[in-house]
Amino acid sequence: MEQVYLHFPILQVLIPLLLAPICVLVGRSTFSWLITFFGSVSSLVIAISLLHSVSDGSSISYHIGGWPPPIGIEYVVDSANAFLLVLVSGISTVVLLYARDQIKLEIDEENHTLFYTCYLLCLTGLLGVLITGDVFNVFVFLEISSLSTYVLVAQGAKRDKRALKAAFNYLIMGTVGATFFVIGVGFIYMATGTLNMFDIYERINDLESSRTVRASYAFIVIGMGLKLAMFPMHLWMPGAYTYAPTVVTTFLSATATKVSLYVLIRFTFSVFHFDFNFIEQVFKFLVMPLAIIAMFAMSFVAIFQKDIKRMLAYSSIAQIGYMLLGVSLLSSEGLTATFVNLFNHGITKATLFMSLGVLTLYSGKSFLSDVQGLGKKMPWISASFLIGGLSLVGIPGTAGFISKWLLVQATIEAGVPILALLIILSSLLAIVYIWKVIEHLYFMEPHSELASQKVSFRILIPLWILSISCLYWGFDTSLTVGTSDIAANNLFNNVIKLN
């Protein structure tokens, strides 16, 4: 115990996992919130210290139960997952700061404890997926996070019964995705006889022509595609994001799909070899076209949405298109762009959903007409929505600009400048739908019956932390771009340096 930091990789996952049953055993709303917050903050602290210790491109390995890999389960921290660990635990902490008041309005008192328990379990699952170096362990943690996510989405039922249908829809699609994924893992195990990612990487070398390996990759791509809402498999997402409680939407939009995308990247680069012929073809002929369709079609659909939450959900699917486009270039620059995009889009979407949640705190309705004229009544909150919107579009000076810029650069370096043009064109569509909200916020007369609503500081502080970080990461890119660069290089060249 004298060297606690040696155990940080396990504590990262363990603390929220340990606090979840304590939450149930004690069962008081305020207490549950306190320990959930405590768990989230300590995860954040651990994640930051892990990121700090791997920022030179090295990696940390932790052997669960003292069994060395490939026999035992290994946790591996490198700059790629440490970066996302910080994102997930950071977003979770900020969301929790604001969750307390919102949850009181949106969920019945007797369900609060179980809500926070599920939240903790979801956090555990997401962190676990990121940190583990064992392919079956990825599945286990993915299920922990998904199952608790379904419950969290269903909690929206107090305000709108359609949340139940959305949650069920998500349950079916998510379970199909998880099943496909585990079939893929089974095939890898069949072909290589091991479950440790880095052991598989070595053994799979001469198995490129093996049909089992190809089938397993196909299953994994489809499984993860469902989880991350890759374009034609996105149908669960608008419903789930629209009807879930705002707190849940904010948290999920910034983390869950990002983590699934990370899994896809990790499998492509650290489990399989990305220069396998069939993987190149999957990305060239399947993922890239789908990503481009998503960028346009989903942005276009978003323009015609009346419900702002649904609009933002469609915009998320379009944004996932940009991230997949970055990966499908199969270049180090493309990966860097995707990692930066993961982080920046996480913050941006969280800002948008959170400010929308505060704007519609009491009514709970998020139609365009419900926010009409709120720009004058709630100037601070509307301003933060504006910042989030600008960042989503990619206006210079915001975080969104950096990620779009890197992506454009990556496409040009990959020798396909037409993609750069498409990225810019689809960004114009984002301007249209964001403008629709801005127009309703600032240029329309408010409903007369709408009384001025009091919003406490406990809500404003996390909201402004997010909005300012949207601006901050638009200027200071040393953390985001620097870390992503190291992460992408490590993944691309598959360098796992153990200290």
Partner 1 sequence: MQHHLILKIVTKSIVGIILLFGLYVQFHGDYSPGGGFQAGVIFAAAFILYGIVMGLDKVQEVLPFWVVQKLAALGVLVYALTGVFSLFMGFNYLDYSAFSPHHPEHGQHWGILVVELGVGITVTGVIVCIYYCFASRTPHLDDGEW
Q: Rounded to the nearest whole angstrom, what is the least distance from the CB of residue 111 to partner 1 in the complex?
A: 12
Restricting to residues 367-426, name those near partner 1 by CB under 8 A. Answer: none
Site for partner 1 contains 144 (CB under 8 A):
no
Site for partner 1 contains 63 (CB under 8 A):
yes
Site for partner 1 contains 343 (CB under 8 A):
no
Site for partner 1 contains 20 (CB under 8 A):
yes
Site for partner 1 contains 80 (CB under 8 A):
no
Q: Rounded to the nearest whole angstrom, what is the least distance from the CB of residue 266 to partner 1 in the complex?
A: 22
Site for partner 1 contains 28 (CB under 8 A):
no
Residue whose CB is less far from partner 1, 31 or 296? 31
Q: Which of 2, 110, 275, 449 binds partner 1 (CB under 8 A)?
A: 2
Residue whose CB is less far from partner 1, 7 or 376? 7
Site for partner 1 contains 164 (CB under 8 A):
no
Site for partner 1 contains 65 (CB under 8 A):
yes
Residue whose CB is less far from partner 1, 16 or 184? 16
Stretches 59-67, 128-136, 239-247, 487-495: which one binds partner 1 (CB under 8 A)? 59-67
Q: Which of 45, 64, 293, 431 binds partner 1 (CB under 8 A)?
A: 64
Site for partner 1 contains 66 (CB under 8 A):
yes
Site for partner 1 contains 7 (CB under 8 A):
yes
Stretches 11-19, 33-41, 325-333, 361-369: which one binds partner 1 (CB under 8 A)? 11-19
Q: What SS3 string covers the chain?
A: CCCHHHHHHHHHHHHHHHHHHHHHHHCCHHHHHHHHHHHHHHHHHHHHHHHHHCCCCCEEEEEHHHCCCCCCCEEEECHHHHHHHHHHHHHHHHHHHHHHHHHHHHCCHHHHHHHHHHHHHHHHHHHHHHHECEHHHHHHHHHHHHHHHHHHHHHHHHCCCHHHHHHHHHHHHHHHHHHHHHHHHHHHHHHHCCCEHHHHHHHHHHCCCCHHHHHHHHHHHHHHHHHHCCHHHCCHHHHHHHHCCHHHHHHHHHHHHHHHHHHHHHHHHHHCCCCCHHHHHHHHHHHHHHHHHHHHHHHHHHHCCCEHHHHHHHHHHHHHHHHHHHHHCCCHHHHHHHHHHHHHHHHHHHHHHHHHHHHCCCCCCCEHHHHCCHHHHCHHHHHHHHHHHHHHHCCCCCHHHHHHHHHHHHHHHCCCHHHHHHHHHHHHHHHHHHHHHHHHHHCCCCCCCCCCCCCCHHHHHHHHHHHHHHHHHHHCCHHHHHHHHHHHHHHHHCCCCEC
Q: Rounded to the nearest whole angstrom, what is the least distance from the CB of residue 74 to partner 1 in the complex?
A: 11
Site for partner 1 contains 438 (CB under 8 A):
no
Q: From residue 110 to residue 129, what is the string marking binding to partner 1 with x (rule CB under 8 A)?
A: -------x------------
Q: Rounded to the nearest whole angstrom, what is the least distance from the CB of residue 147 to partner 1 in the complex?
A: 12
* Interface with partner 1 (CB under 8 A): 1-2, 7, 10, 14, 17-18, 20-25, 62-66, 117
